[in-house]
Structure 1
């Protein structure tokens, strides 16, 4: 008999995609009686709750839990505390799984003797011509460097990586390492996987298992998302500088160079030609990247407007993430400790930090 798996889904205002996400879990190639879905909602106001209520009435395996603090790691911890499964997994409301996702990840982990998590790669998808351009940018090395879960080919073999987003693991992993650090408003997966690797565990990427991830549909939302990603990466790097990867360096160094050349040109016009050369080199790189990405098989919704806006999308991602890293480095480390597993001893408090309260207020 298959062991029970609990899938935890932190959501907030995901009406456009939540039903598809939940049904992708319910339709897994997994015994129906050995599956539960813990959807942790942060007080959605866009119709998400009505959709979840209907799906839960149709299928009692779906449980809807409350996250009044509207913070992702808090939602994950609420779901983990409520979960009954021996296997635990995460999916977000803007993602979806192929039917074999749980089967493939658990089968791989059955061969692992130590603590480990496994997850599939992402195929980024967007809505309309702008969404197609965003998906192409954030699913390529030109946009996100060597983040392998976004860029790896489906033909590749299993790879040990630093983090995967839609993870699957045994319950014992959290019993040993504790829960997610609630001081991180995002980047909580990377922080947890870093703890796992420091404890001798491994994080596995299974490229032949392909989840879908819906990208942000507007430039404003995309910029805010990548600024947040960069900010919390910067704060984490202050805490764990030895976790630095080459892809983490390029955007903040590029932003620093931009500011330096601009300041030099403003202070002394003799530096203006050098600053113009620097800007021209980046513009040429953007054109090269756009040409390369436009030649690849084009996603649904792609048209000439997608190609025209692609350089701006790439620049936006680099600038938002690079600027965010600097603000995070200046803001400093995240304080406090992650909560321990309930009943496991040593559970830390999860007092809400000042920045968490402020972020929750902005999200409202």
Structure 2
């Protein structure tokens, strides 16, 4: 199946949004290009949002080794705007769009397999699972990665823990047929996050199908600092609420769980203020649950570094829930 894709590189556009990614960009690009003949003949564009570190210099240096690498400017700085550069008429001859992200390492033959699966499954889009690995040797970074690979951190979503390929309604974006991408106008650049799920909603609403390929797994490096993890998951929750409001969706149970956790913690805080300690019970149960997560992750990896897994999971849950609720307070868009 993969051999049939060789020679199709001129029809493939690979886009990589980037902003101050000097720690990741070279590893990311080399993983895409080193062991994939099709990727080396495709156009690989790094869409830079105005990096102030050495990201641009690294990309320029690599373009001497890999002439198919191009450096583009993304003045809007958003990932969605970077991906929408594919809508420029200059790429009108391209048929397939591949999205890659700097905080990831890609398996050998990644782009070739995406092209082959798009053809084999007659899908509008192919999505892939993420397997988290620590971004640094720090205990917190290790705990974030470990808990992200469990239902405690991600709720058991198919594109994070899935092992069975099939048609899905959403997943981590990997490849699109550009005619389907153009037909719905690409990403919504007003979305601060969750723009991928929002786009999937429009693609399936337009009759397209999305295939989850669990045999083409991506190694992802999650945020390794508490405040960065908080900011990321707050945006995730905010963006998910925007998608739900915009398309009249009901959030899934795993998406409601962080919201219920935040409400339980707020009720517990109220109980402490008004002298009703019994209202603290849900909060106590949740905190005990986080302690269990820490112990479970540390035990499964036979390492005390996993004892921060409960802290990492708590940050994910609470920030996501607060982001979701803060967006609901704003109500529907005009």
Q: Does TM-score exceed 0.5, indicating one fold?
A: yes
1:31 offset after TM fit, Å? 3.1
* Residue number among 55, 61, 85 corresponding to 1:54 in the alignment: 61
Task: Measure the CA separation in 2 of the matches of 1:157 and 1:104.
Answer: 17
Query: Which stretches in structure 1 are left out of the alignment for 5+ residues?
Result: 336-364
Change beyond 3 A, Cα 1:279–1:66: same
* RMSD value, Cα: 1.9
Q: 1:260 to 1:247 in 2, by over 3 A?
A: same
Equivalent in 120, 133, 139 of residue 128 of structure 2:
120
- The residue that corresponds to 2:291 in the other structure is 287
Aligned to 2:327: 328
Unaligned runs of 5+ in 2: 1-5
The structure 2 residue matched to 1:148, chosen from 140, 146, 158, is 158
Instruction: Determine the structure 1 residue equivalent to 2:3.
Output: none
For residues 147-166 of structure 1, what are the structure 2 equivalents within 5 Å? Answer: 147-152=157-162, 156-166=163-173
- Give TM-score scaled by structure 1 length: 0.83
Note if 1:30 corresponds to 2:37: yes
Structure with the bigger RCO (C-alpha within 8 Å, sep 6+) is 1
Aligned position for 1:308: 307
Q: Deviation digits for residues 67-99 of structure 1, max 9, x if unmatched?
A: 112111111112442545322110011112101
The TM-score with structure 2 as length reference comes to 0.90
Q: Residue 182 of structure 1 corresponds to which residue in structure 2?
A: 189
**Structure 1 residues 289-328: Cα deviation after superposition (integer angstroms, max 9, x where no partner):** 2233223346xxxx42x22322111111111101010011
Structure 1: distance between partners of 2:179 and 2:190: 23
Q: String of CA shifts for 1:243-284, please: whole Å, max 9, x gaps.
A: 5222111101221122123213422x2x21x23322221122
Map 1:1-364 to 2 at 5 A.
2-3=7-8, 4-31=11-38, 34-81=41-88, 82-83=90-91, 84-113=93-122, 115-126=123-134, 127-128=136-137, 129-152=139-162, 156-267=163-274, 269=275, 271-272=276-277, 274-297=278-301, 303-304=303-304, 306-333=305-332
